[in-house]
Structure 1
């Protein structure tokens, strides 16, 4: 039986990065990208809708409108809580602290942490896959 794909939502304003990330996740994890947003308000509206079940949300910090920090801030008190990771080029120690304080599970740098992101997603996929049949 094939593994249960990791239901993932991506908040990223660069179409090129988004498409490359989707292809990479679907090929290597496996993940199923169930939605995308380019701005904070679209992401929050989608994530708050009860019919949208996801296991992982990948958020960039700088978006077309609003920010990934706003997405994290809004979602940190929601139940059930989504696993949230940040994938950004702006991962200074201060920004990492801020993201983690707002509920991010992990912070990855786009330039050099893609392998670590894939490993994290694969571990999460195995963990969540065992609860679905």
Structure 2
């Protein structure tokens, strides 16, 4: 499974990539730190990703714009939000925009890994 990561914190990004590769069989195909870069990459590489993992607060723009930019994705492609602000209102907004799942960075990493494994990573 190929994942594109949109996260502006290098430490979180590197730890996430390592964890997903090791525990869920997910291969990172790249990253960006802004809404514009992420949305553009996803549009330019429509068939090069299976999963996008998006933080909501980025160097420029918002992960909400990235979710919205993925509306025309292939049905097999998944959009996951990984944020420190997974409040009920934020979760609702993300799902309204088309996110497939929303996880809290501080409490839901195991659930994120399970989600990825269920999608087709390592069993």
Q: TM-score, normalised by structure 1?
A: 0.86
Aligned residues: 121
**Residue aligning to 1:118:** 113
Is 1:46 aligned with 2:41?
Answer: yes
**Residue aligning to 2:29:** 34
Equivalent residues of 2:80, 2:99 under 8 A apart:
yes
**Residue aligning to 2:90:** 95
Of 66, 70, 75, 2:70 maps to 75
**Residue aligning to 1:24:** 19
Question: Matches of 2:101 and 2:92 in 1, distance apart?
Answer: 10
Aligned with 1:41: secondary structure? helix
Q: TM-score, normalised by structure 2?
A: 0.93
In the alignment, structure 2 segments of 5+ residues that lack a partner are none
Aligned with 2:120: secondary structure? helix
Equivalent residues of 1:46, 1:52 under 8 A apart:
no
Question: Matches of 1:51 and 1:98 in 2, distance apart?
Answer: 24
Is 1:61 aligned with 2:79?
Answer: no
Give the 3 Å change call, closer, same or farther, for CA 51–103 of structure 1 in structure 2. Answer: closer
In the alignment, structure 1 segments of 5+ residues that lack a partner are 1-5
